[in-house]
Amino acid sequence: MIVYETMRNTQSLDLGSDTKLLTCFAAFEIAAGAMHLLWIEAATLMRHPLAAPFHTLMIGAIWILANGAWLWGVCRLLFLIGQMLGGAGLLLVDLAAYIGSRCRDAKHAIGCFWERSQ
């Protein structure tokens, strides 16, 4: 069985998976709150957008930050899903190689593979 070790070395982060997922969802919540403020303030400024230029710039800053937080959360979540799918793919490749090399059927292979991984 050929195993490329560079694929096996996953990126190690100091934070746990739960913390990373909570960070993504916190970014979504921050973005949702900022978008809510954006709608309230934009409705206020619809009557006189040039009467308060600083207020208009603040609305733009909220919009940029909210969309940035949302995009960061989406990218981070997609990265985590990709890592999990990559790990599942490597597990299936190992299982298929084990079935092909040493076992007579899939049920026996899963039992052997489970014992070997313990």
Q: Is 71 a member of any domain?
A: yes
Q: Is 3 a member of any domain?
A: no
Q: Is 52 a member of any domain?
A: yes
Burial 27-41 (b: 16+ CB within 10 A, else e): bbebbeebbeebeeb
Q: Is 9 a member of any domain?
A: no
Q: Is 6 a member of any domain?
A: no
- Tally of domains in the chain: 1
Spatial separation of the C-alpha atoms in residues 88 and 102, rounded to whole Å: 21
Q: Is 1 a member of any domain?
A: no
Q: Is 78 a member of any domain?
A: yes
Model pLDDT for residues 58-105, shown as the tens digit of each residue: 777 777 877 777 788 788 888 888 888 888 888 888 777 777 776 666
pLDDT value at 17 more than 70: no
Model pLDDT for residues 19-48, shown as the tens digit of each residue: 777 777 777 787 777 777 777 777 777 766
Confidence (pTM) = 0.45
